[in-house]
Structure 1
Amino acid sequence: MTANALLRKYDVPTPRYTSYPTVPAWNTSDFTKAQWTQAVAKTFEETNDEKGISLYIHLPFCESLCTYCACTTRITKNHSVEAPYIQAILKEWQGYKKIFGRKPTLRELHLGGGTPTFFSVKNLHLLITSILEDVDIHPDYEFSFEGHPNNTSREHLQMFYDLGFTRVSFGVQDLDEKVQHTIHRIQPFENLLRATQDARDIGYTSVSYDLIYGLPFQTPFTVSETIEKILTLRPDRLSFYSYAHVPWIKPGQRGYEDSDLPTQALKRHLYEIGRHLLKKNEYVDIGMDHFSLRHDTLFKAHITGKLHRNFMGYTTTNTELLIGLGASAISDAKYAYAQNVKHVEDYFANINEQAEAIFRGHIMQSEDMIIRQCILQISCNSKLDQALLDRVQNDHITTLLQTMENEGLLYLSHDGLKITTTGEPFIRNICSVFDANYSPGDEKIRFSKAI
């Protein structure tokens, strides 16, 4: 099958598989908060001493709306929201510590948004020191945060580094002026250069960038120019995401016309341009959308089979308990998932009344856990062991896999399934073969397109 034919067939709405089941497929009717508490306590007891836990803190505030963004955000220039939000986060954290019953071992800490660097250095210092004051730190810990190049100051970077942060991720998306104006994300290259140099001067061991292909008015020239500029700064790792056009979910994306977006074929070409330039410059293709230099921990986790994927994306710390704090944050306790209320006002009200803000979740069934392992192996290692494949295989899955083998996306052997170089851009599609809740063309659950 030709590349264009593969694109026409597989560039369909498909989950990104940061979890299984995906959030739209959660069985919320059978979920109770008591079950969630039990799942957290059980997972903590099973894994804290050896693996430790992960902690994600969602800081949703931004001073202006980036219209491409599909994250849960709150747009405001009123910085008086910082202090009460931090106090709510800390109250929620205290609630989880009561569930643990003893001191947690923190393996991974990540601040995402929104724009974490919307917050002042002083307030962020208070947040992190309060989180760290009654925890043990795992010997192989990793602390990281997302920063906006325009407002991540040297003071931000130094404060985080002094508290143990060694990785920072900068949202770049695109460097072309027309694209930036269209998506309302104005950030001069000089700001990225300054922030990157400051991070490296201070001692950060990993600087990563987020880039997006498929944005309005992107062309082969603009994408090439963006990546050529990026390469002069030599980020340790980067993500090159497909733009998720979901205006029915995020109305801000209606700020430009569908006709302003690259066609399906052009969008695929933009990805291939970026991928070629990155691989030509010694970046290794890792999982879905990610690239890394060989010295980075992401690459090392990839080659040693320790790469993990959860609601924070790809991570080098394979923990089984991820606690999400803040509005809209999602937690994973191995046996269950839970998500907080999305709106900041609702989050405040819930935390003030009951010290928790969960509004939906999912209790994992045995079949869910097996399929999750299949999807994790495929998305992290580009393969699936035969023993695990045997546990899920049926006539439907066998037929789909044989078709994909004939198309050159994977090959099957007595060892299991292995994704080919041709198949790497179609990992989401291959994962979907095992998804018991996914049906192509099902309009009841709408995802962004796979490619």
Structure 2
Amino acid sequence: MNLQSLIRKYDTATPRYTSYPTVPFWNDASLTPAVWEQQVKAAYTQRHENGISLYVHLPFCEALCTYCGCNKRITRNHAVETPYIDSLLAEWQMYKNLLGETPTLQELHFGGGTPTFFSAQNLDRLLSGLLEGSKPAPHPEFSVEVHPNVTDREQLQVLYNHGFMRLSVGVQDFDPKVQFVINRLQSFEQTAHVFEAAREIGYTSINADIIFGLPLQTADSIRLTIDRVRQLRPERIAFYSYAHVPWKSKAQRRYTEADLPSAEQKRAMYELGRDLLLQVGYIEIGMDHFALPHEALAQAALNGTMHRNFMGYTTQETDILLGLGASSIADTGTAFMQNIKEIEEYQQAIAEGKWPITKGHLLTDEDKLIRKHILNLMCHFETDWEQESTYSPALEEAVVRLRPLEADGLVIVEPKRVRITPLGRAFLRNVCVCLDERYWKNKEHSTQPIFSKSI
């Protein structure tokens, strides 16, 4: 079967697997505030030696990018910054009170929204509050997502002063017609200015986010964008597949499916972009990611230590991830918890001293095993259950689901091992879904779309 036929066959709706179980299949009722406190305390007591990861969601944006499916609030009223920071610091204090100390931060990430919506002064206040009394990890990773149109040198300097060395710059596409339809007019000159300022300040790793499969995007769009990104020479590149989820993100209704490239065209865009990046020395790692060979994430991929969590691929494998802010997600290894998405409702819960839980899940023993196998596939393209401790009866059914993919040359299935072939890496999500026991248990009951297409 040729690649075009495989694309048509496997372009189905599948999760992206930043977690297992995936959020739609969490068992909400099992996680009360008291149970969440118990899970956090137990995880911290048993597994905090390597520090924790902390994700802070900063949801405000001055303009709406129509492609974006993230939780955000569009406003030009910067008076919202102070009360939101108050809530973040109060939520962090709730965790510190629960744990009896300020945890060591191994990983800190600001995501959004647009984190650089916040002024330099307010970023300084937020970070001073978060880091007050903290013990520095030996090799921490602090990173932030920025939009070049609203990022200045003062903000970058404040972040750097507090230990940020990694920057993720939103590019998406440099083609003017694509920028217009996704409402993200952004010049190459402004983007380059942010790169230059960050490097002059001392940032050691810059990531560029690019999206393929956007409305009105063509092969020429990809060539233009990759060419300009290559001039910037970021250490990392996230070359993401556009997720079309108009039932979740109403802004995506500005255009229709007719404006989107076909699955075959979309995959061709990725192949083109990948080839252009490989030509100038980047290596492909994980799903939709590239890095220069000397970069830490590339080294982690090569030596088998790369990890994946709700923040994406990372070199840090902490056992505990806490999330602050509206819609943020926390993970203790035994439980997941997502905060309330509505900003005012989140702030009200924090003001009342309540955990702002909107959704949660207690992982079963089977969940933990399947999660590990899916994580192995996402990071290392193989997994095995040769040890009794890694075996689950659900894997027998997974092997049955994998047989058609094996016949198509996407995987190699051995008695107690699955390996993804080079061809199969284009269908990584389709391989992982074969192991997703909760997906298959719920599939026949789902009448509404949940996930974006895999290609």
**Cα displacement (A) at 1:214:** 0.7
Give the letter aligned to residue 295 of structure 2: D
Look up the match of 1:446. 450
Give the letter aligned to residue 108 of structure 1: E
**Secondary structure in 1 matching 2:244:** coil
Identity, % of aligned pairs? 48
Look up the match of 1:425. 426
Q: Distance in 1 between matches of 2:400 and 2:26?
A: 27
**Cα displacement (A) at 1:201:** 1.2
Unpaired runs of 5+ in structure 1? none
**Cα displacement (A) at 1:35:** 1.1
**Cα displacement (A) at 1:399:** 2.2
In the alignment, does 2:234 pair up with 1:235?
A: yes
Look up the match of 2:337. 338
On the 8 A contact 1:91/1:355 being kept in 2, the answer is no
Look up the match of 2:77. 78
5 Å matches for 1:85-234? 85-234=84-233
Q: Distance in 2 between matches of 1:263 and 1:385?
A: 35
**Cα displacement (A) at 1:225:** 1.1
On the 8 A contact 2:369/2:391 being kept in 1, the answer is no
* TM-score normalised over the length of structure 1: 0.97
Describe the shift of the 1:443–1:387 C-alpha distance in structure 2 as closer, same or farther (beyond 3 A): farther
In the alignment, does 2:347 pair up with 1:348?
A: yes
Q: Distance in 2 between matches of 1:345 and 1:159?
A: 28
**Secondary structure in 1 matching 2:234:** coil
Describe the shift of the 1:415–1:370 C-alpha distance in structure 2 as closer, same or farther (beyond 3 A): closer
**Secondary structure in 1 matching 2:423:** coil
Look up the match of 1:13. 13
Give the letter aligned to residue 406 of structure 2: E
**Secondary structure in 2 matching 1:165:** coil
Look up the match of 1:308. 307
Q: Distance in 1 between matches of 2:116 and 2:393?
A: 44
**Secondary structure in 2 matching 1:259:** helix
On the 8 A contact 2:33/2:355 being kept in 1, the answer is no
**Secondary structure in 2 matching 1:55:** strand
Describe the shift of the 1:394–1:332 C-alpha distance in structure 2 as closer, same or farther (beyond 3 A): closer
Listed one character per residue, the Cα deviations across residues 307-327 of structure 1 (whole Å, up to 9, x for unaligned) are: 111111111110111000000
**Secondary structure in 1 matching 2:149:** coil
In the alignment, does 2:38 pair up with 1:38?
A: yes
Look up the match of 1:399. 400
**Secondary structure in 1 matching 2:168:** strand
Q: Distance in 1 between matches of 2:277 and 2:210?
A: 12
Give the letter aligned to residue 294 of structure 1: P
On the 8 A contact 1:371/1:392 being kept in 2, the answer is no
* TM-score normalised over the length of structure 2: 0.96
On the 8 A contact 2:104/2:134 being kept in 1, the answer is yes
On the 8 A contact 2:57/2:113 being kept in 1, the answer is yes
Describe the shift of the 1:266–1:397 C-alpha distance in structure 2 as closer, same or farther (beyond 3 A): same
Describe the shift of the 1:371–1:394 C-alpha distance in structure 2 as closer, same or farther (beyond 3 A): closer
**Cα displacement (A) at 1:160:** 1.0
On the 8 A contact 1:386/1:414 being kept in 2, the answer is no
**Cα displacement (A) at 1:395:** 4.3
Give the letter aligned to residue 129 of structure 1: S
Q: Distance in 2 between matches of 1:100 and 1:271?
A: 45
5 Å matches for 1:61-72? 61-72=60-71
On the 8 A contact 1:58/1:113 being kept in 2, the answer is yes
Describe the shift of the 1:110–1:411 C-alpha distance in structure 2 as closer, same or farther (beyond 3 A): same
**Secondary structure in 1 matching 2:405:** helix
Listed one character per residue, the Cα deviations across residues 328-354 of structure 1 (whole Å, up to 9, x for unaligned) are: 111001110001110111111111112
Give me the CA root mean square deviation: 1.4
On the 8 A contact 1:285/1:292 being kept in 2, the answer is yes
Give the letter aligned to residue 399 of structure 2: T
Q: Distance in 2 between matches of 1:288 and 1:313?
A: 10
Listed one character per residue, the Cα deviations across residues 260-283 of structure 1 (whole Å, up to 9, x for unaligned) are: 111121111111111111122221
Unpaired runs of 5+ in structure 2? none
**Cα displacement (A) at 1:224:** 1.0
**Cα displacement (A) at 1:419:** 1.4
Q: Distance in 2 between matches of 1:393 and 1:407?
A: 23
Q: Distance in 2 between matches of 1:390 and 1:336?
A: 21
On the 8 A contact 1:24/1:445 being kept in 2, the answer is no
